[in-house]
Amino acid sequence: MSAICPDCKTPPDNHQEWLCFCGESFNHFNNIGKCLHCGYIHEFTECQQPGCKSITLHLNWYPPVTENVMNLKSELNLISYLEKASLSKNPIRRLDVE
Ligand SMILES: [Zn+2]
Ligand SMILES: [Zn+2]
């Protein structure tokens, strides 16, 4: 899974580690933010790029995930639109009036 910082768009370094509350340091991107030592799931990840240091939702670091959710949402909207459109069609055609 390729991750990039949502702010500066820099991919995290494989050697970067974040300190957990339990004192253990680990790479958030190895296990989607879950500390294997204490099991705590880190919802936020700080960008370690000098000059960025942005703290953002860990899941926002995976743009394909966000894109997939967006695609899914627009698909769902389309489906409900089509359903509504077919429901609103008047089954009784009044072609023979006149
Ligand atoms: Zn950044
Ligand atoms: Zn921990």
Q: Using CB atoms within 10 A of its CB, is residue 34 exposed (0-12), middle (13-18) or buried (19+)?
A: middle
Q: How many whole angstroms from 36 Cα to the centroid of ligand 1? A: 24
pTM: 0.63
Among all bound ligands, the one having the nearest atom to the CA of 60 is: 1
Q: How many whole angstroms from 68 Cα to the centroid of ligand 1? A: 22
* Residue boundaries of the structural domains of the chain: 18-88
Among all bound ligands, the one having the nearest atom to the CA of 17 is: 2
Among all bound ligands, the one having the nearest atom to the CA of 9 is: 1
Q: Confidence band (pLDDT; 50, 70, 90) for 22?
A: very high
Q: How many whole angstroms from 21 Cα to the centroid of ligand 2? A: 6
What is the tens place of the pLDDT at every residue in 84-96? 776 665 555 556 6
Please answer whether residues 29 and 46 qualify as being in contact, where contact means their C-beta atoms are separated by less than 8 angstroms.
Answer: no
What is the tens place of the pLDDT at every residue in 33-65? 999 999 999 999 999 999 999 999 998 998 766
